[in-house]
Amino acid sequence: MSPSVRHAPRVLWAGLRALLVLTLVTGVLYPLAVTGVAQAFFPGRADGSVVRADGRAVGSELIGQTWNGPDGEPDPHWFQPRPSNSGYDTGATGSGQLAAGDPTLVETVRQAREDVAAFNGVPVEDVPADAVTGSASAIDPHISPAYADLQVARVAARNGLPPAAVQDLVDARTEGRDLGILGGERVNVLLLNLDLRALAAG
């Protein structure tokens, strides 16, 4: 019998034992340690940055959601989020995966541009890219400042509020790139709509 065959069971046994020991260290002790520190110092973050209103949890600051009426269609009283491949279902994240030149996607974008323009009473040329493209996660919590600005007139009219006051809300919720250079400019839809609700309630 060759040495490698003779050694095989012993080496395999060592491999399995090494795996079990390292599982204990990196698969049990490590995640528990991180959880302990996270829950001690950043409990709100560690549990999902939950947003509360009226004394109850209404969502997460980080997770986008739908703003539909009882009919399941976008409710014009609210700022609307980006198109989502899953209807903002956190159980099915991911995008539609169509190529940038795909004919089906071209048709989807064309339709979305018309819908967004009609919904907001603006020309199609004014509709920004994020308003007609599906996000990567399908639960993108943000829209571009351009898409938020575009919705101001419609939201103000539907809620009987002065456009300037609604624009102030948008401006206050408009975030620049992080540290001035990282990522993209954005507006958090949930936080903006909660501000809107507070304003509308007087």
Partner 1 sequence: MSPVLADVLQVTALVVALVLAHRPLGDYMAAVYTSPRHLRAERWIYRAIGADPDAEMRWTAYLRGVLAFSFAGVLLLYAMTRLQDLLPLSLGFAPIPPDQAFNTAVSFVTNTNWQSYSGEAAMGHLVQAGGLAVQNFVSAAVGMAVAVAFVRGFVRFRTGGIGNFWADLVRGTVRILLPLSLVFAVVLVALGVIQNFSDGQTVQTVTGATQHLPGGPVASQEVIKELGTNGGGFYNANSAHPFENPDGISNLLEIFLLMLIPSALPRTFGRMVGSLRQGHAIVGAMAVIWLAGVVAVTVVEHQAPGAASQLAGGGMEGKEQRFGVGASSLFAVSTTMTSTGAVNAFHDSFQGLSGGVLIFGMVLGEVAPGGVGSGLYGMLIMAVIAVFLAGLMVGRTPEYLGKKIGTREIKLAASAILVTPALVLIGTGLAMALPDGERAMTNIGPHGFSEVLYAYASAANNNGSAFAGLGANTEFFNTSLGIAMLLGRFLPMVLVLALAGSLAEQRRVPETAGTLHTHKPLFTGLLVASTVVVAGLTFFPALSLGPLAEGLAA
Q: Rule CB under 8 A: which of 133-192 touch partner 1? A: 133-144, 177-186
Question: Is there binding between residue 17 and partner 1 (CB under 8 A)?
Answer: yes
CB of 95 to partner 1, least distance (A): 4
CB of 177 to partner 1, least distance (A): 6
Question: Is there binding between residue 59 and partner 1 (CB under 8 A)?
Answer: yes
143: which strand partners?
187
Which of 79, 84, 88, 117 is the binder for partner 1 (CB under 8 A)? 88
Instruction: Identify which of 112, 108, 88 has the alpha carbon closest to the alpha carbon of residue 98.
Output: 108
| # binding residues, partner 1 (CB under 8 A) | 104
Q: Is the CB of 52 or the CB of 162 nearer to partner 1?
A: 52
Q: Is the CB of 56 or the CB of 164 nearer to partner 1?
A: 56
CB of 165 to partner 1, least distance (A): 19
- Give the C-alpha separation, 185 to 145, whole Å: 7
The torsion angles phi and psi of 122, rounded to 5 degrees, stand at -130, 160
User: Which letter does DSSP use for residue 75 in this model?
Assistant: P
Instruction: Identify which of 59, 83, 177, 58 has the alpha carbon closest to the alpha carbon of residue 137.
Output: 83
- Only one residue has tokens 């600051």, namely 61
Question: Is there binding between residue 4 and partner 1 (CB under 8 A)?
Answer: yes
- Give the C-alpha separation, 7 to 166, whole Å: 75
CB of 153 to partner 1, least distance (A): 20
Question: Is there binding between residue 46 and partner 1 (CB under 8 A)?
Answer: yes
Q: Are 79 and 196 in contact (CB under 8 A)?
A: yes
